[in-house]
Amino acid sequence: MIELTGWEPLGISVDWAAIEGELGVPLPADYKELYEVFGGGVFSDSVYFLGRDEGVSFDFLTQWRVWLSVDQDRKLGDVSAVDPYAIYAPGGKGLVPWGSTEWADGYFWLIDAERPGDYPVLARSDDGGAWDQYDMSTSEFLYRVLADADFQPFGIAQYDLGTTFKPGSGDPFDCQPL
Per-residue pLDDT tens over the stretch 49-88 = 998 766 667 888 999 999 999 888 766 666 677 889 999 9
pLDDT value at residue 109: 97
This prediction's pTM = 0.86
pLDDT value at residue 103: 86
pLDDT value at residue 141: 96
Contacts of 71 (CB under 8 A, 6+ apart): 80, 81, 82, 86, 87
CB 131 within 8 A of CB 121: no
Q: How far apart are CA 165 and CA 58, in angstroms?
A: 14
Distances (CA, A) of 178 to 9, 47, 150, 161: 25, 11, 25, 20
pLDDT value at residue 92: 94
Count of CB atoms situated within 10 Å of the CB of 176? 15
pLDDT value at residue 168: 82
Report the candidate in 69, 83, 123, 99 with the shortest Cα–Cα distance to residue 178: 99
pLDDT value at residue 65: 92
Kindly give the pairing relationship between strand 47-49 and strand 165-167. Answer: unpaired
pLDDT value at residue 2: 73
Residues of the chain with pLDDT under 50: 172-178
The burial class, CB within 10 Å (0-12 / 13-18 / 19+), for 169 is: middle
Residues in the chain: 178
pLDDT value at residue 176: 47
